[in-house]
Amino acid sequence: MDELIWAEKVSEKIKKKVELVAERNKNKIPYTTKDGSFDDMSQGNICWWTNGFWGGIMWQLYHGTKNEMFREIAEENEKKLDQNLMEPQGLDHDNGFKWLPTAVANYRLTGNLKSRSRGLLAANNLAGRFNPVGSFIRAWNGDDDGRVAGWAIIDCMMNLPLLYWASKEINDPRFMQIATIHADTAVKYFVREDGSVNHIVEFNPATGEFVKTYGGQGYGEGSCWTRGQAWALYGFALSYKHTKKKLYLDTAKKVANYFIEHIWENGLVPVDFCQPKDCSLEDSTAAVIAASGMLEIEKSVSKEEKKIYHEAAIGLLQALEKERCNWDDNIDNILEKCTAAFHDKEHEFSIIYGDYFFIEAIWKLTGQELFLW
Ligand code: GLY
């Protein structure tokens, strides 16, 4: 089937399903489904790092349909996150994931000044996590015993756009400087020679010296956590978009090339590209984040290279649509077989950002893109 016709059909299926799903879940902030129904992190953990993606889905649907219900739900998600803004342990390297698809999206679309303030508060907190001697943005919070004060993680690359936005918004280069210094550190310490990436890198927080790497949510030290690879390829592509620094585009391509070379024959991906051969655990979120990231890379490369990233993205999306999408209107999620971390007890369930990036990628293919990063 022609690629555009296919993508338009998928877009229609998304609109039909999400309208029903949103209507019956309008007061929630979902993370996953239990027996086909969304849970509610606004009751469970308002500080959870994925709490911006439901709002992001709603803004994407509002953009694609102009149905006011989606805007109202997105605004409710954003207001609920104010409780998170007041929690010192609730703010971290993932501020971009929470406030770019909610408050910053709202401000960009409607000019709401309260939303702008929310975005700037989140950006200031993210910038405040910068370690000047180590040239990195600190990852998680920990127990204030300093144990993880020197940890940086690859996921943070996807949060840097909050800093790029803040710099432009208040005409102050400090935020962009912090973002690019962190991105330069990520090029040096996270990306390996073969294009695979580390999840966690530890520095001495007092001297800035490199200490060691950890496998983090992947299989183990020196392995290649698939979603980390996807955050890296999309994150570097976004750093290139915001700075035009060629190093970031070259890095995004190098990381994407590794990803493409390791996609399974059935078009899907494992949780870690280095997991044992007899382990069939999958992560659909990594596949869909990588696909949307490759569509971003495609915008900035030569005609010959466009073909490589475009075809790889389409391959991933079509495999997911065929094998891993649930179009039953009575089930709340779309994407299935998503995995948070290799060593967790539970694997292969639905995760809200899987649905977010699937919709985002399909919108890119059908001329409905709403850029949130
Ligand atoms: N940012 C954490 C994750 O990707 O699971």
Show the tokens assigned to 57: 């889905």
pLDDT at 72 over 90: yes
Could you identify the residue written with the tokens 């520095």?
203
Q: What is the pLDDT of residue 1?
A: 72
Domains of the chain, start order: 3-131+243-366 (1.50.10.10)
Collapsing DSSP to helix, strand or coil, 291 comes out as helix
Gap from CA of 285 to ligand 1 centroid (Å): 10
Gap from CA of 4 to ligand 1 centroid (Å): 31
Gap from CA of 1 to ligand 1 centroid (Å): 34
Burial (CB count <10 Å: 0-12, 13-18, 19+), residue 23: exposed
CA atoms of 18 and 12, how far apart (whole Å): 10
| Annotated binding-site members for substrate | 94, 155, 227, 231
pLDDT at 89 over 90: no
E strand spans, 111-162: 130-131, 136-137, 151-153
Q: What is the pLDDT of residues 36-69, one digit of tens each?
A: 999 999 999 999 999 999 999 999 999 999 999 9
Confidence (pTM):
0.98
Choose one of 48, 50, 200, 217 to mutate for the ligand 1 pocket test, by most ligand atoms within 8 angstroms of C-beta: 217
- Mean pLDDT value across the chain: 97
Atom of ligand 1 nearest to the CA of 340: 5
Q: How many CB atoms lie within 10 A of CB 58?
A: 27
pLDDT at 264 over 90: yes
Give the residue numbers marked as catalytic. Answer: 94, 155
Atom of ligand 1 nearest to the CA of 155: 1
217 lines ligand 1 (CB under 6 A): yes
Atom of ligand 1 nearest to the CA of 97: 1
Q: What is the pLDDT of residue 364?
A: 98
**Average of per-residue pLDDT across 251-275:** 98
Gap from CA of 72 to ligand 1 centroid (Å): 27
CA atoms of 343 and 175, how far apart (whole Å): 35
Q: How many CB atoms lie within 10 A of CB 91?
A: 22
281 lines ligand 1 (CB under 6 A): no
Q: What is the pLDDT of residues 278-337, one digit of tens each?
A: 999 999 999 999 999 999 999 999 999 999 999 999 999 999 999 999 999 999 999 999
Tell which residue, 87, 41, 107, has the closest CA to residue 372. Answer: 107
